[in-house]
Structure 1
Amino acid sequence: MTVWLLGDQLHPDATPLRSADHVLLVEAHAFAERRRYHPQKLTLVFSAMRHFRDDLRDRGYDVTYLRAETFGDALEEYFEANPGDDLVGMRSPSHGADEWRRRLVDERGGALTLVENDLFLTSRADFDAWAGVDASDDGESGTAVTDEGTAFRQEDWYRHVRRETGILMDGDDPVGGAWNYDEENRETPPPEWSPPDVPRFEPDGTTRGVQAFVAERYDDHWGDPSGFRWPVTREEALTAVDHFVSVRLSEFGDYQDAMRDGEWALCHSLLSAALNLGLLRPREVVDPAVAAYESGDAPLNSVEGFVRQVIGWREFVRHVYRRAMPELAEANQLGQTASLPPLYWDGETEMRCLSEAVGHVRKRGYAHHIERLMILANFALLYGVDPAELNEWFHLGFVDAYHWVTTPNVVGMGSFGTDVLSSKPYAASANYVDGMSDYCAACPYAKSETTGENACPFNALYWDFLKRHEETLRGTGRMGLMYSHVDRKDDAEWRAIRQRAEDLRTAAAEGEL
Structure 2
Amino acid sequence: MTVWLLGDQLHPESHVLDGADRVLLIEATAFAERKPYHPQKLGLVFAAMRHARDALRDAGYEVDYRRAETFGDALDAHFDARPGDDLRLMRPPSHGAAERLRTLVESRGGSVAFVADDRFLCPPEAFDAWQDGEASGTPREGGEAADTFRHEAFYRWMRRREDVLMDGDDPVGGQWNYDESNRETPPADWSPPPVPRFESDDLTRETLDWVTDRFDTWGEATGFAWPVTRAAALDALDHFVEHRLPAFGPYQDAMVDGEFALAHSLLSSSLNLGLLGPGEVIDAAVDAHRRDAAPVESVEGFVRQVLGWREFMRHVYRRTMPDLVESDLLSRSRDLPPLYYDGETEMRCLDAAVGHVYDRGYAHHIERLMVLSNFASLYGADPRELNEWFHFGFVDAYHWVTTPNVLGMGTFATDAFTSKPYVSSGNYVDRMSDHCAGCAYDVDATTGADACPFNALYWDFLDDHEERLRGTGRMGLMYSHLDRKSDAELSAIRERAATVRSRARDGRL
TM range, smaller chain: over 0.9
Deviation sequence 1:380-411 (CA, Å, 0-9, x none):
00000111110000000000000001101000
Superposition pairs of residues 58-457 of structure 1, within 5 angstroms? 58-132=58-132, 150-218=147-215, 220-457=216-453
Deviation sequence 1:450-482 (CA, Å, 0-9, x none):
000000000000000000000010011111111
Q: How many angstroms does 1:133 deviate by?
A: 7.4
Contact 1:39–1:214, Cα closer than 8 Å, also in 2: yes
Structure 1: distance between partners of 2:221 and 2:96: 30
Structure 2: distance between partners of 1:108 and 1:36: 31
Contact 1:40–1:225, Cα closer than 8 Å, also in 2: yes
Superposition pairs of residues 457-476 of structure 1, within 5 angstroms? 457-476=453-472
State the one-letter code of the partner of 1:157. Answer: F
State the one-letter code of the partner of 2:186. Answer: P
Structure 2: distance between partners of 1:363 and 1:330: 31
Structure 2: distance between partners of 1:368 and 1:331: 27
State the one-letter code of the partner of 2:191. Answer: S
Q: How many angstroms does 1:130 deviate by?
A: 0.7
Structure 2: distance between partners of 1:87 and 1:471: 53
State the one-letter code of the partner of 1:503. Answer: T
Structure 2: distance between partners of 1:269 and 1:105: 38
Deviation sequence 1:281-322 (CA, Å, 0-9, x none):
101111011011011110000000000000000000000000
Contact 2:444–2:451, Cα closer than 8 Å, also in 1: yes
State the one-letter code of the partner of 2:192. Answer: P
State the one-letter code of the partner of 1:323. Answer: R
Deviation sequence 1:490-511 (CA, Å, 0-9, x none):
1111110101001110100000
Structure 1 stretches of 5 or more lacking a match?
Answer: 136-147
Q: Give the aligned partner of residue 139 of structure 2.
A: none
Structure 2: distance between partners of 1:69 and 1:446: 51
Contact 1:157–1:312, Cα closer than 8 Å, also in 2: yes
Structure 1: distance between partners of 2:259 and 2:17: 40
Q: How many angstroms does 1:19 deviate by?
A: 1.0
Structure 1: distance between partners of 2:146 and 2:118: 30
SS in 2 for 1:157: helix
Q: Give the aligned partner of residue 489 of structure 1.
A: 485
Structure 2: distance between partners of 1:62 and 1:93: 26
Structure 1: distance between partners of 2:298 and 2:83: 53
Structure 1 vs Structure 2 CA RMSD: 1.0
Structure 2: distance between partners of 1:511 and 1:415: 22
SS in 1 for 2:18: helix
SS in 2 for 1:19: coil
Structure 2: distance between partners of 1:238 and 1:297: 18
The aligned length equals 500
Q: How many angstroms does 1:331 deviate by?
A: 2.9
Deviation sequence 1:216-235 (CA, Å, 0-9, x none):
101x3110011100000000
Deviation sequence 1:302-352 (CA, Å, 0-9, x none):
000000000000000000000000110223011011110000001100000
State the one-letter code of the partner of 2:391. Answer: H
Structure 2: distance between partners of 1:45 and 1:127: 29
Deviation sequence 1:407-441 (CA, Å, 0-9, x none):
01000110100111210000000100000000001
State the one-letter code of the partner of 2:220. Answer: D
Contact 2:212–2:221, Cα closer than 8 Å, also in 1: yes
Structure 2: distance between partners of 1:205 and 1:44: 14
Q: How many angstroms does 1:150 deviate by?
A: 2.3
SS in 2 for 1:211: helix
Structure 2: distance between partners of 1:134 and 1:106: 35
Q: How many angstroms does 1:442 deviate by?
A: 1.2
Q: Give the aligned partner of residue 138 of structure 1.
A: none
State the one-letter code of the partner of 1:2. Answer: T
Q: How many angstroms does 1:196 deviate by?
A: 1.1
Contact 1:331–1:411, Cα closer than 8 Å, also in 2: no
Q: Give the aligned partner of residue 142 of structure 1.
A: none
Structure 1: distance between partners of 2:295 and 2:193: 17
Q: Give the aligned partner of residue 503 of structure 2.
A: 507
2:37 is equivalent to residue 40 of structure 1: no
Structure 1: distance between partners of 2:33 and 2:310: 29
Larger CA deviation: 105-114 vs 148-157: 148-157
Structure 2: distance between partners of 1:214 and 1:133: 48
2:49 is equivalent to residue 52 of structure 1: no
Contact 1:331–1:387, Cα closer than 8 Å, also in 2: no
Deviation sequence 1:50-80 (CA, Å, 0-9, x none):
0000000000000000000001000001000
Structure 1: distance between partners of 2:101 and 2:437: 52
Contact 1:251–1:302, Cα closer than 8 Å, also in 2: yes
The 4+ residue runs of structure 1 with deviation greater than 6 A are none
Structure 2: distance between partners of 1:44 and 1:22: 24
State the one-letter code of the partner of 1:212. Answer: D
Q: How many angstroms does 1:134 deviate by?
A: 9.5
Normalised to the residue count of structure 1, the TM-score between the two structures is 0.96
State the one-letter code of the partner of 2:205. Answer: R
Structure 2: distance between partners of 1:224 and 1:435: 30
Structure 1: distance between partners of 2:155 and 2:327: 25
Contact 1:408–1:421, Cα closer than 8 Å, also in 2: no
Percent identity over paired residues: 66
Q: How many angstroms does 1:149 deviate by?
A: 7.7
